[in-house]
Amino acid sequence: MKLTVKEGMQSEIFVPVTPKPVFTELKKPLSECKVAFITAGGIHKKDQTPFNTSGDFGYRTIPFDTPSDQLMVTHGGFDNSDINKDVNAMFPIDRLHELVDEGFIGSLANETYTFMGGGGNVEKFKGETGPEIARKLKEQGVDIVLCTGGCGTCHRSATIVTRCCEEAGMSCVVIAALPPIARQQGAPRITAPHVPIGSNAGEPNNIPMQIAILKESLEWVRDCPSFNQTKILPYEYRHNV
Amino acid sequence: MGLGPSIKMTSLHHYRCPVTAEIVKNDDLEYAGIIVDGVSEVCDDKIYTAKRVGDIAQVLRADGAIVAIDGWGNHHVDFVNVIEQLGIRGIPSVGLSYIGQQGRLVCTNNYVDCVVDFNKNISGYESCVVGDNNLTEYDAMKAVALLKNKLRKAEKYDSDQKDDSAGNAQTLRRLTRKTFHIKEVRFGDETKIEAGVLTIRKGLEKSLIMQEARIKDIQVKILEPGENDMFVNSNLDYSPIACKVRGELGEGVTHLLSGVTVMITGVEDKSGFQPSNIGSSEGVLKNQVVLDRAGTPASSDYILHIDVLFEEGEGRTAEGIMAAHRAADWIVQDIRKVLKDFQNMAYTREEFTDVARPGKPRIIQVKIVSGLGNMYDSSMFPYEPAGFLGSHNMMDSKNIPYVITPNQGRDGAIHSLL
């Protein structure tokens, strides 16, 4: 066997590093906030180039007025069937419009950014994609960023980009199916419904559950006392049962 | 099977598990068993199954554990939870995982203090080459040595101890494997084995295509050793050709053919979709597989290539993938029929024993295997070694851990799906 050496490669013993705290307190009522929703779950418009499932640090721009039936998923590593049934299970775009209509939140950003975090290159997300998405959201005057991720490394990529948004002065929450990952990677705030990976934002076509998860996550952005706190949400869903 | 092509553990890998092969070399350790734990898609279930692994390890009175996995990302939640649950119960462990750059642990805990990284690639990112980043004998050797170190620190292992208890060793279970070497594989009118030549009935796949609604076509090809400069579709599995002659998996007598390995590949009709999780492995065969690993064919092997054309969409469903494995196992079944009563050829005989060694540290292996369902699953206890027919899939069993004997592992109790 040929042995190779690469600088920075870890071996044998893994020493975890929890990133430094980032926390931007929300200073407005939710009803006056401009909200954006980003996702690492591989959502894109049907007419956009699909993500490369073996690792892709690019992002796609999604106008918030895109009809949900024009969105699709390209993501390996977890069962996509829920998102295929209802894209709101990962990216609850229809529910967000309903929350604006209801007056629960002030408004939505004009456009948002989605990526495929599975197997994602940590350095690229931290140094390039994350700051760029954060800057573009900030330029639109966004106050709150909600985020979902699909698989495990996807939760990591989701958390990295969310941290960039928090650093840029927005208040953010990761809606996590795998809360231990969001916690370890240093998500500013975490909500955790009891759902399978791939349906972070709630059971497909279950509008009351999706609305409740969004509302409680938004309230956690408002109420979370300090960095990296998790709120377990009382919504449970499993597929194939 | 594994998450990406380069780390995935094929059925052949589990059959020839390097960790098992390494542990049994040490007669100063007792190999108490293998726990097979499935990866779930709900976080609560990941924690639940990890706790059950801890309980089983405790009931097995394990002194130490080697925890091996062929996934990363969400699979590492299961991985670190299992290590934690073992640790809480006073069972030290050594992990074996792909880490590199891409597979860096997404979460951890205080018990995760020793993980052997079996990344083999300078980039630290997975490749689409099957076997490229596989767990090898060398990784297994490191893990066992590190575990002995940990046991020594925990005062559970004394390396200076004279082997005075060899007389106390007790054979618990015995498995006989007779291996017949095949020097040529060809097509013919009927399936037979004669003087080292395996003849496969031409067209035996035709009736299977009719049976499987999700499959449009199957092509069976024979690749000679070194015949690898052609395009193949994404890999679904590598597996051995073996059958039970007497007894259940893990005991009695098994017949095995050497010199030939089954390769299943597949693609979807119309869409051209290549079944995969994180990256697919289609391409020129010689560039898409590292031969001579535990889980891949030897470079001197004939390859029985079963190429499945899925109906559109069915390369992405759990049922479609299982249909391909079922069809492939029916094809192998035709060979098993003649292998079962086969006598008139020279063979190599191996005896595998599960041994109790009173007074020696009891070691277990925890294999964390896929159980996420669609595109990523495993199944347990097929009728025939490393086969698929008759097996119970992990996801349907809710990923509750199985306990198997080392001999059951060596007799193909685990089948990888994709």
Band of residue B78 on the pLDDT scale cut at 50, 70, 90: very high
Q: What percent of chain A has pLDDT over 90?
A: 78
Give the residue-averaged pLDDT of B74-85.
96
For residue A147, what pLDDT is reported? 97
pLDDT, tens digit, 9 for 90 and up, residues A128-152? 999 999 999 999 999 999 999 888 8
Closest of B404, B402, B378 to residue B391, by C-alpha: B378
**Cβ partners under 8 Å of residue A187, min gap 6:** A159, A162, A163, A172, A173, A174, A176, A228
Confidence check: pLDDT of A181 > 80: yes
Candidates A165, A164, A200, A203; CA nearest to A179 is A200
pLDDT of residue A15: 57
CB B9 within 8 A of CB B236: no
Q: Which of residues 24-63 of B touch A (CB under 8 A)?
A: 41-44
Work out the angle between the directed axes of helices B74-88 and A152-167 (0-180°, nearest 10). 100
Tokens 């079996």, residue?
Answer: B118
Using alpha carbons, select from B7, B146, B136 the residue that is nearest to residue B72. Answer: B7
Taking contacts as CB-CB distances below 8 angstroms, the residues of chain B near A185 are: 106-107
Cα separation, A75 vs A55, whole angstroms: 9
pLDDT over 60 at A13, yes or no = no
* DSSP label of A67: -
Shortest Cα distance, chain A CAs vs residue B378, angstroms: 14
Q: Which residue has the tokens 């391909």?
A: B324
pLDDT recorded at residue A16 = 61
Contacts of B108 in chain A (CB under 8 A): 14, 16, 184
| pLDDT of B135 higher than 80 | yes
Distance in Å, alpha carbon of A224 to nearest chain B alpha carbon: 22
Residue A8, pLDDT above cutoff 70: no
Of A13-22, A186-195, B142-151, B310-319, the poorest mean pLDDT is in A13-22
Helices marked H in B32-120 = 43-59, 74-88
B395 interfaces chain A, CB cutoff of 8 Å: yes
Q: Dump pLDDT digits (tens) for B16-69.
A: 999 999 999 999 999 999 999 999 989 999 999 999 999 999 999 999 999 999
> In this model, does residue A12 exceed pLDDT 60?
no
Report yes or no: A237 and A208 within 8 Å, Cβ to Cβ. no
What is the CB neighbour count within 10 angstroms for residue A141? 13
B328-359 pLDDT per residue, tens: 999 999 999 999 988 888 999 999 999 999 99
CA distances from B235 to A77, A164, B4, B111, B120 (A): 16, 38, 11, 36, 20
Decide which of B159 and B218 is more confident. Answer: B218
Asked if A9's CB is within 8 angstroms of B100's CB, the reply is yes
What values do phi and psi take at B127, rounded to 5?
-115, 175
* Arithmetic mean of pLDDT over chain B: 93
User: Does pLDDT of A6 surpass 80?
Assistant: no
B178: pLDDT strictly greater than 90: yes
Assess whether pLDDT exceeds 90 at residue B2: no
Spatial contact of A15 and B107, defined as CB atoms under 8 Å apart: no
Closest CA to A118 of A163, A148, A162, A141: A148
Question: CB-based contact (8 Å) between B88 and chain A?
Answer: no
User: Residue B107 and residue A184: Cβ atoms within 8 Å?
Assistant: yes
3-state class (DSSP) for residue B218: strand
State the average pLDDT over residues A24-53: 95
- Interface check for B373 against chain A (CB to CB < 8 A): the answer is yes
Q: Spell out which residues of chain A touch residue B43, defining contact as CB-CB under 8 Å.
A: 177-180, 192, 194
Delimit the domains of chain B by residue range.
11-174+354-417, 176-348
Strand partners, A38: A147
Which residue, chain included where needed, has tokens 């350095």?
A123
Hey, which residues 222-241 in chain B have their CB within 8 Å of chain A? none
For B242, the 3-state DSSP assignment is strand
Tell me the residue type at A66: T
Q: Which chain A residues have a beta carbon less than 8 Å from that of B104?
A: 10, 14, 122
Mean pLDDT of B181-196: 96
Structure-token pair, residue B299: 């470079």
Q: Nearest-CA residue of chain A relative to B371? A: A78
3-state secondary structure of B53: helix
- B378-404 pLDDT tens trace: 999 999 999 999 999 999 899 999 999
In contact, B285 and B229? CB cutoff 8 Å: yes
Interface-testing mutation among B1, B3, B8, B43, with chain A (most A C-beta atoms within 10 A): B43
pLDDT value at residue A54: 77
> Cα separations (Å) of B156 from B90, B148, B152, B159, B258?
11, 9, 6, 10, 40
Q: Residues near B104 by Cβ (< 8 Å), separated by ≥ 6?
A: A10, A14, A122
What is the domain partition of chain A in residue ranges?
Answer: 36-235
Strands A34-39 and A144-148: parallel
Residue A81 confidence (pLDDT) above 50: yes
Q: How far apart are CA B139 and CA A80, in angstroms?
A: 34
Return the structure tokens found at A71. Answer: 């969105």
pLDDT at B343: 81
Q: Which of A4, A5, A14, A123 to probe the B interface (max B CBs under 10 A)?
A: A14
What is the arithmetic mean of pLDDT over A63-77? 92
* Spatial separation of the C-alpha atoms in residues A95 and B340, rounded to whole Å: 61
Alpha-carbon gap: A190 to the closest alpha carbon of chain B (Å): 14
Total length of chain A: 241
Å from B389 to nearest chain A CA?
A: 22
Q: Please judge whether B42 and A196 are an interchain contact, meaning their C-beta atoms are less than 8 angstroms apart.
A: yes
Q: Which residues contact B183 (CB under 8 A, 6 or more apart)?
A: B196, B197, B259
Best of A15, A79, A122 to disrupt the B interface by mutation (most B CBs within 10 Å)? A79
pLDDT at residue B1, as a whole number? 39
Alpha helices in B154-299 (DSSP H): 206-211, 285-288
- Residue B251: pLDDT over 60: yes
With a cut of 60, say whether residue A117 has pLDDT above it.
yes
CB A79 within 8 A of CB A120: no
Contact B113, B150 (CB under 8 A): no
What's the rounded Cα separation, in Å, for the pair A65 and A68? Answer: 9
- Shortest alpha-carbon distance between residue B108 and chain A (Å): 7
Encode B274-302: b = buried (16+ Cβ within 10 Å), e = exposed: bbbbbbbbbbebeebbbbebbbbbeeebb
Res. A241: pLDDT tops 60: no
**Predicted pLDDT of residue B418:** 72
Pull the structure tokens for residue A46: 């049907």
Which residues of chain A make contact with B138, given a CB cutoff of 8 A?
1
Helices (H), B89-243: 137-153, 206-211
CB A233 within 8 A of CB A213: yes
**In contact, B355 and B30? CB cutoff 8 Å:** yes
Question: Which of B49, A136, B138 is CA-nearest to residue B146?
Answer: B138
